[in-house]
Amino acid sequence: MRTVHGTVRGAVEKGVAVFRGIPYAAPPVGARRFRAPEPPEPWTGVREALAYGPTAPKRPYAPPLDRLLPDPAVPGEEWLNLNVWTPSPKPDATGLPVLVWIHGGSLLHGSSAVPVYDGSAFARDGVVLVSVNYRLGVEGFGVFPDAPANRGLLDQLAALEWVRDNIAAFGGDPDRVTVAGESAGAVSIAALLATDRAAGLFRRAVLQSGAPAALTPEAAGGTTELIAKRLGVPATAAAFAAVDPDALLTAQAEVTSGGNPLTGRTSFQLVVDGELLTHDPADALRIGTAAGIDLLMGANTEEYRLWFVPGGLTERTSRLKFRLALLKFRVPSATARTYRGNRPDATPGEILGALATDLLLRVPLNRLADARTDAPGSTYVYEFGWPSPVQRLGACHALELGFVFDTLAHPDTAALTGPDAPQELADAMHRAWVAFAATGDPGWPSWDASRPVRFFGPGAPALVLAPRDDELRGWEPYRKRS
C-alpha cells in the first residue's frame, strides 16, 4: 500500500488487511524532543508493517491495576506510529467510513498495541479502523517555558492529518472520519473539538468515559515542577532532555503515584496555552464550538469501582472520611442525601464513588448534551451498566472497551470482564459504534429535552428517559429552572 511517505506491506488476518507500526511523524528524540511533531523521513522500497511500532516511554500500571489493565511496551524510538485495519484491497472496498481510535491511560499509560483495541471486527463490518500512539507523560504533556504545550495533542493532530492524506489508499473516505477515544483519549478528543486546527479532519466524535477539561499553564505546570525538584534540575525542556530517560521515568512515576482520577492526584493535564487551545474545552463546546460535529458520548454506571475496589478504598472510607470528602469536593448536602437515599444498602465508600463518578463524568457530559440540544450536529448519549464479576468491579471504568471492539475472546479483555461476558451485548454495542461511524446514527433517538439514554446491560439494551434525574438535579449546573 502506498502512502505519501513510502510503500508499506501488511498482512491479511481474519479476512481483513492489517498494517501496523506505520510512522506518521518523525521520532521525537534528539533535536526533535519536546518539540512539535515533524513529518517522517520518506523511505524507498517497501517497509514491512507487520508488527506494532514502538510505544511511548512509560511505566506499567501500579499494582493491583497492572493485572487488570495489561499495557504492552514495545522498545524503540519511532513512537509516533499508527495501525490500520481495513477490508481493502477488496475491489469494492472504497469510500469506507473511518474510525480513528485514541487510547486512554491518564496521559501516562496505554498504547495502540493493547490487544483489546484490535480493529479486526470494525474492518470485518466495513469500517477502516486506525489506532494511534502519541507521546505520554512529561514527554507529551510536561509544561515548559522553552517547548510547545500539549505536544501529545499535537501528535494526535498530526495522525489525523496523516489519515486525511493517506486513508483513501486503504479504502477509507477522508470525508467520513470519526475520532473516538476513552478516558484520557476522550478528554483529548474534546480538546480537538475545541481547536481550530482540527477543523475538517473529522465529522463525528465519540467520548467514552471522559469529559472536556484543561488547566491553565500555571496549574498544569505543577507536575513538571515537582518532577524537576525531584531530579534537581530546572523545569525546562533543555534540562529535562539532558536527564537519563530511565531516571526521568522513575521521577515521573514517583510524583504521579497515589490517588486516582476520581479522588485526585498529581497528574498531567491538557493546557489552555493560548495557541492550540485558546479556551477551556468545556466552555468552548458549551457555547457552540464544533456544533456541527455529530457526537456520541457516555460513561459507565460504576466508573469508580476500578480505582476504589481493588485497593480497598470502598472499605476504608469511613463516615468521617466520607464527610471530609464532601467538604473537599463541595458536594451539596442535599445532593449527598439524595444519593444515600437511592442506595440504602451502600457503604460510604460506594456512595462517595457514585458522587465522584457523576461529578467528574456524567454531570459534565449531560451538561454538554444539554448545550447541544439545538445544534446542527446530532448528540447521542449512552450508559454502560453490565457488571463484571471480577473482583466485584461492577460496571467499572474501561469495562466497555472489549464490548465496543468486540474483543471479548481475548485474554486481556477477560482480565476485566471475566470469561463469560455476554457476546450479545458486545454485538449490540459494537453494532451501534459501527452504525455511528457509517451514518452518524447509532440506533436510538438523539438528545432532546426528554434526555434519552441508551443503556447497555445488564439485560438487553434499552432506552431510558432522564435516568436518575433526581441526582442530576442536585448538582447546581443542572438544577432545573422554574
Residue 466 CA to residue 482 CA, distance in Å, equals 17
Task: For residues 194-201, give the mean pLDDT.
Answer: 96
- For residue 270, is it within any domain? yes
> Does residue 477 have a pLDDT over 60?
no
Pairing, β 204-208 against β 172-182: parallel
Residue 399 CA to residue 63 CA, distance in Å, equals 18
- For residue 199, is it within any domain? yes
pLDDT, tens digit, 9 for 90 and up, residues 214-257: 999 999 999 999 999 999 999 999 999 999 999 999 999 999 98
Our measurement of the distance from residue 365's CA atom to the centroid of its chain's CA atoms, rounded to an integer in Å, reads: 14
Task: For residues 115-133, give the mean pLDDT.
Answer: 98
pLDDT, tens digit, 9 for 90 and up, residues 366-378: 999 999 999 999 9
- Taking only Cα atoms into account, the Rg of the chain, rounded to an integer number of angstroms, comes to 22
Pairing, β 11-13 against β 16-23: antiparallel
Contact at 8 Å (CB) between 114 and 103? yes
> Does residue 260 have a pLDDT over 80?
no
Going by pLDDT thresholds of 50, 70 and 90, the confidence category of residue 480 is very low
- Average pLDDT taken over every residue of the chain: 95
Residue 298 CA to residue 454 CA, distance in Å, equals 9
Going by pLDDT thresholds of 50, 70 and 90, the confidence category of residue 311 is confident
Active site residue 476: no
Contact at 8 Å (CB) between 37 and 76? no
- For residue 309, is it within any domain? no
Nearest to 96 by CA among 429, 360, 438: 438
- For residue 232, is it within any domain? yes
Going by pLDDT thresholds of 50, 70 and 90, the confidence category of residue 258 is confident
Task: For residues 81-85, give the mean pLDDT.
Answer: 98
Could you list the residue range(s) of the whole structural domain that residue 32 is in?
2-304+362-387+395-476
Active site residue 183: yes
Active site residue 131: no
Beta strands in 152-208 (DSSP E): 172-182, 204-208
Nearest to 357 by CA among 315, 407, 394, 320: 394
What totals of helices (H) and strands (E) does the chain contain, helices first?
A: 19, 14
| Residue of 88, 106, 112, 183 with catalytic role | 183
pLDDT, tens digit, 9 for 90 and up, residues 126-150: 999 999 999 999 999 999 999 999 9
Q: What pLDDT does 266 receive? A: 82
Q: What pLDDT does 167 receive? A: 97
State the CATH number of the domain containing residue 41.
3.40.50.1820
CA angle 433, 174, 108 (to 5 degrees): 60
Share above pLDDT 70 across residues of the chain, in percent, rounded to a whole number: 97
Q: What pLDDT does 215 receive? A: 96
Which three three-digit cell numbers place residue 114? 493493547
Share above pLDDT 90 across residues of the chain, in percent, rounded to a whole number: 93
Q: What pLDDT does 263 receive? A: 67
How many domains are there within the chain? 1
| Residue of 103, 109, 397, 430 with catalytic role | 397
- For residue 17, is it within any domain? yes
One-letter amino acid of 144 = F
> Does residue 481 have a pLDDT over 90?
no
- For residue 349, is it within any domain? no
pTM of the model: 0.96
Going by pLDDT thresholds of 50, 70 and 90, the confidence category of residue 182 is very high
Helix (H) or strand (E) holding 346: none
Q: What pLDDT does 316 receive? A: 92
- For residue 450, is it within any domain? yes
